[in-house]
Amino acid sequence: SGGRHRKDLAQRSGLANTIKPSMMLSLHINWSKNSGTRGPLVIYQNQSESILLASLLQDALNQVYGTEELPVLGKKYHVLKYTKCPSVIVELGFLSNKSDRKLLNDSHHQAKLAKAITQAVEQYYTMTHPK
């Protein structure tokens, strides 16, 4: 239900504001009425660190999927609006798309996604926390 979903999102931003991480990734699987819509999508806050993190993640995930999506600003997303640290929503593909659904259920593809996310996060930290 919508209420349970909103409560879950409020808990995510509340938790992030309590433990104060240096950034937050919220991982999701997407859905569209158009079954042809596919691929990864990263949604960011309107702040420079969030935009940088989103761009690095989107580039890494685009390489896995062979797509050329650009990250998008998510003004209306609770997790992004109410979380103080740089935050992004990472949509890992569309369950409503047959090829994405097949990939998302494949352990080899899951490992590729995990590696792409890890590399993007490492790159982000190297750029924002120089030694």
pLDDT of 24 above 80 = yes
Cα–Cα distance measured from residue 85 to residue 43, given in angstroms and rounded to the nearest whole number = 15
33-51 residue pLDDT tens: 999 999 999 999 988 999 9
Mean pLDDT of the chain: 91
Beta carbons of 58 and 71 less than 8 angstroms apart = yes
pLDDT of 98 above 70 = yes
**Other residues' Cβ atoms within 10 Å of the Cβ of residue 29:** 13
Give me 127's structure tokens: 């750029």
Cα–Cα distance measured from residue 42 to residue 106, given in angstroms and rounded to the nearest whole number = 21
